[in-house]
C-alpha cells in the first residue's frame, strides 16, 4: 500500500463539508454591520435574502450567476472529496435556475503534510464533476494552508426573467425536497469509524449527484422559489425561504426522505456539532410537535453537504416537478409540506 492510500483527509480538519460553515447566529452577527452600498440596477440578486448566488443582468436574455463554495474534507478518499466539493459548489448555480458555463478552482493544502499525489487526486475529482456538468475549470488560486480546503467559483447563465430566488414562495405552495437527509450524520459516523461500506456508498452517491433539475425548474412559471439544502440543514434553509417571502410553513417529519443508515445512526444519538449550533442559531423560529424526539430534531438541523434542491411551487405543478426530478435520477424527491400565510416560522408535526 502506498503512502497516499494511508492518508485520512478528515484527520486534518476540525470540521467537514458544509458542517464547517460559520453558525447561522454568528454569521448574522458578523454581517450585521457590513454596509451595502451603491447596488447597480442590473444586480438582480445580492445579499438581501441569503440567496444561493449573485445574479447580474448582462442583457435582455442573459444574466450571470456567480457563486463560490469550498470546505474541508468530509471523507478520507481524495478523489471523492474533490467530487463532493465540486458538486456542492455547482449546486448553487442550479438552485438559481442557471446552467453552469465554467468554474475556477479554490485550493488550500497543507503542503508539508499531504503528498502531491493526494492533492492531484482531489483536483482530479473536481475536474471529473465539472466534465460531467459539461464545463471546464478555467483557472483558480492555490495557497499553502493548515487544513485541506477545496472548492470552486462557479459561474452560470440564466434568463433574467427566469431566475429562481429563495424569496418568492406563495401561500398554498407545496414544498418538495430533491435529496434525502442524513449526510451530516453519515459523516459523523465515518469520523467515529462506524460507517458501513454501504453507508459510505450512499454518502458519496448522494453528494455527487449534480442538482441538474434546477435548470429545468427555471422554465416552470409555477415554481416560485428554490434553494439548496446545505450546511444550515433543512430547517435553516427553509427558514431562509420563509423569511425572504414573509411566510410560514408546515412540514411533516414522516414525509421527509432520509438515508436509511443515517436514520439508524440518528436514533442511536449520532450527530454533528454543527447540528446543535444550527439549532441554537434559529431554534426560536421553529415550533416542534410536543412528542417529537430529540433525534428527529437533529435530523432537521443536520448539515447537508451537497444536499438536495428545496422547491416551493403551486400544487398544480407538483407532479411536473417530481417528474423532472425522477427523470434526472432523483427518485427520493417528494412533497414534505406546505407554505402558509403568517409570520416567518416553521412548524414541524
Question: Coil, strand, or helix at residue 55?
Answer: strand
Q: Alpha-carbon distance 162 to 233, whole Å?
A: 26
Q: Which residue has the cell 456567480?
A: 66
Catalytic residue among 18, 20, 130, 313: 18
The answer to whether 249 touches 336, Cβ cutoff 8 Å, is no
CA atoms within 13 A on the CB side of 186: 28
Short-list 65, 85, 63, CA closest to 74? 85
Estimate to the nearest angstrom the gap between the alpha carbon of 277 and the chain centroid: 17
Answer for the pair 147, 183: CB distance below 8 angstroms, yes or no.
no
18 is catalytic: yes
Interatomic CA distance for residues 265 and 259, integer angstroms? 10
Cβ atoms 210, 90 nearer than 8 A: yes
Residue 172 near residue 314 (C-beta atoms within 8 A) = yes
- d(CA 268, CA 248) in angstroms, rounded, equals 31
Greatest Cα pair distance, the chain, in angstroms, is 60
Burial of 134 (0-12, 13-18, 19+ CB in 10 A): exposed
- The angle at the Cα of 89, spanning 87 to 90, to the nearest 5 degrees, equals 65
- Both ends of the chain: CA-CA distance in Å? 51
Catalytic positions, please? 18
Amino acid at each position: 500500500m502506498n503512502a497516499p492510500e494511508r492518508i485520512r483527509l478528515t484527520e486534518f480538519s476540525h470540521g467537514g463539508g458544509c458542517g464547517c460553515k460559520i453558525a447561522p447566529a454568528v454569521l448574522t452577527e458578523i454581517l450585521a454591520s457590513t454596509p451595502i452600498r451603491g447596488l447597480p440596477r442590473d444586480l438582480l440578486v445580492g445579499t438581501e435574502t441569503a440567496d444561493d448566488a449573485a445574479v447580474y443582468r448582462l442583457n435582455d436574455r442573459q444574466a450571470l450567476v456567480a457563486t463560490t463554495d469550498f470546505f474541508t474534507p468530509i471523507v478520507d478518499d481524495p478523489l471523492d472529496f474533490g467530487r463532493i466539493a465540486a458538486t456542492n459548489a455547482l449546486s448553487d448555480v442550479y438552485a438559481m435556475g442557471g446552467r453552469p458555463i465554467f468554474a475556477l478552482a479554490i485550493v488550500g493544502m497543507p503542503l508539508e503534510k499531504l503528498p502531491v499525489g493526494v492533492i492531484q487526486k482531489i483536483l482530479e475529482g473536481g475536474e471529473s464533476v465539472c466534465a460531467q456538468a459539461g464545463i471546464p475549470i478555467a483557472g483558480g488560486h492555490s495557497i499553502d494552508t493548515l487544513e485541506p480546503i477545496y472548492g470552486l467559483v462557479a459561474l452560470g447563465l440564466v434568463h433574467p426573467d427566469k431566475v429562481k430566488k429563495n424569496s418568492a414562495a406563495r401561500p398554498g405552495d407545496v414544498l418538495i425536497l430533491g435529496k434525502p437527509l442524513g449526510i451530516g450524520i453519515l459523516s459523523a459516523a465515518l469520523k467515529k469509524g462506524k460507517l458501513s461500506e454501504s453507508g459510505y456508498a450512499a454518502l458519496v452517491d448522494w453528494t455527487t449527484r449534480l442538482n441538474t433539475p434546477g435548470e429545468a425548474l427555471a422554465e416552470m412559471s409555477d415554481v416560485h422559489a428554490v434553494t439548496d439544502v446545505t450546511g444550515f440543514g433543512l430547517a435553516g434553509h427553509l427558514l431562509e425561504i420563509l423569511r425572504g417571502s414573509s411566510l410560514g410553513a408546515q412540514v411533516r417529519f414522516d414525509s421527509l426522505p432520509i438515508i436509511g443508515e443515517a436514520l439508524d445512526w440518528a436514533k442511536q444519538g449520532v450527530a454533528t456539532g454543527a447540528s446543535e449550533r444550527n439549532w441554537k442559531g434559529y431554534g426560536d423560529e421553529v415550533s416542534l410537535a410536543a412528542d417529537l424526539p430529540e433525534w428527529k430534531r437533529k435530523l432537521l438541523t443536520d448539515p447537508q453537504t451537497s444536499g438536495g434542491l428545496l422547491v416551493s411551487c403551486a400544487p398544480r405543478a407538483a407532479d411536473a416537478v417530481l417528474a423532472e426530478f425522477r427523470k434526472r435520477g432523483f427518485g427520493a424527491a417528494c412533497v414534505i409540506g406546505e407554505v402558509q400565510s403568517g409570520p416567518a416560522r416553521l412548524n414541524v408535526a
